[in-house]
Copies of this chain bind each other. A is one copy, B any other.
């Protein structure tokens, strides 16, 4: 907890003006009414309108929500791809004081049931093609009083047993298009997201209006968004509000592009949008940026992506990918965040004082997560709770606090183990270098404990991914009868190298950078690496699958 708060002399400022989310869109509608919001529909066609038209629909949607009985404080779930309707929902739901529950369509049915029941959601908005993620669990959703289908089709064309059933465009059509927004205490929740990929059921983070408003100002500053930018929302909006880029765009009057549904194995539509809409800012994971790069490389006409900033929140974006995009003029910017932190905590920008570094050292630097943004406070603490020296070597756990960092998990006893003195304990192992750059060396639980020493799975992965034959690679520590744990590498070879690269080649390639005992005991070539619902490698699943690999013999 923060220490006692001291009251000084009273100010005359407008301190009672609440930082409400709807004000971001209101600003865009008034000051940048002409700026476009573009969405790629499910059928591949393009839907476009501008902030003024968007705001009018958000007003209608808010009125429709009230007509459906939504009250301030209610939790309203949403399952949708990145589209203008999801964008509208964020504003309309929070605008009337309710809470938009971000429901992840990729988690298990059991988890999804848990999330919806735990939040006690009253209403669910469901994109038509995500109905199958809800229908099988509908009977277990005791608090849900209705379903609103998001679709471009007519109601008749939609087949579902969900009930009572409403349709997004129908409820909008019948709603008044003006309303006086209530002033909402900025400390009220505007949205909620449940962490996934952890052991046990997901844990709920309830973001306040104040939290996302301040975060929006900072993400805009960190990614240098202006009204001249075109922002494409690639990261799913159902996960930690997808870096919140879609809030920074109306804040600054930037154009917005929503790619709708996309798949990593069909990156064409994303690349087409990137080029045709002249996108300058986006965010995503290597799982999607890598296949996009492969696709770009095969284009007949070499695109010019100069000016494009690609925020990449992976534990570590592969250097080869960063260099690959640089060839087209685009900059992959490494950043760090989590569901618990809204998410922006660290971003990697080159300090002018380091501008004179040799190129290779600059690349090394860009592999780090970067510098904390103003507003969040971080510490890297060792076992005794003391901060580790800023030497770029000493490893500790990254602790974080700030106005957009959660103080707890909603109604969850697991809160006790994850917070200390107001800081969230990230569970990430990190170093901090003399210039202040933080590097996540691993998840604490992904560090490999071999013969009493530690091996970073991430360092091995990156070394392997630099091999030209490698598309993706992951390294996990598996139980070993003698050494406690030993590293195993899984590698997805590039199409053209399939069956043409060997374990020995991989090991020889990385050998110069590691001690002998740090090298993987085996390298397996696979077609696919198991991923979490948000596209990260699921080391948990891999460890489970290969649990006995070294034990057998």
Contacts and interface: CB of A to CB of B under 8 A. Distances in A.
Interface in A410-450: 410, 422, 435-436
A116 interface: no
A462 B544 CA distance: 76
Interface residues of A, number: 87
A364 to B, nearest CB: 19
A7 B186 CA distance: 8
Contact of A183 (B6, B12, B17, B409): B6
A401 interface: yes
Question: Taking the full assembly, how many copies of this chain does it contain?
Answer: 2
Interface string A458-478: 000000000000000000000
A176 interface: no
A284 interface: no
Contacts of A33: 436
Contacts of A409: 12
Contact of A75 (B9, B19, B375): B9
A405 B182 contact: no
Contacts of A209: 11
A11 B189 contact: yes
A189 B190 CA distance: 28
Given A24-B374, A32-B351, A188 B9 contact: yes
Nearest to A412: B12
A211 to B, nearest CB: 4
B206 A31 contact: no
A59 interface: no
A227 B184 contact: no
Contact of A188 (B10, B73, B205, B351): B10
Given A224-B224, A371-B31, A403-B15, A8 B189 contact: yes
Contacts of A190: 8, 11
A207 interface: yes
Nearest to A210: B15
A245 interface: no
Contact of A374 (B27, B210, B226): B27
Interface in A490-509: none
B14 A211 contact: yes
Contacts of A410: 12
A31 B372 contact: yes
A98 interface: yes
A401 B15 CA distance: 11
Given A6-B184, A218-B217, A13 B98 contact: no
A214 B186 CA distance: 14
Interface string A213-238: 01001101100101110000000000
A255 B352 CA distance: 10
A15 B187 contact: yes
A19 B403 contact: yes
Nearest to A119: B9
Interface string A532-548: 00000000000000000
A260 interface: no
A188 B15 CA distance: 9
A70 to B, nearest CB: 11
Contact of A15 (B34, B35, B211, B218): B211
A207 B11 CA distance: 5
Interface in A392-411: 401-410
A12 B188 CA distance: 9
Contacts of A189: 8-12
A226 B226 contact: no
Contact of A97 (B6, B10, B422): B6
Contacts of A261: none
A388 interface: no
6 A-B pairs closest in CB distance: A8-B188, A11-B208, A13-B211, A11-B189, A13-B208, A8-B97
Interface of A: 1-19, 23-24, 27, 30-35, 72-75, 97-99, 182-190, 204-211, 214, 217-218, 220-221, 224, 226-228, 251-253, 255, 342, 349, 351-353, 371-372, 374-375, 401-410, 422, 435-436
10 contacts: A3-B182, A4-B183, A7-B72, A8-B72, A12-B408, A14-B403, A15-B403, A27-B372, A224-B224, A227-B351
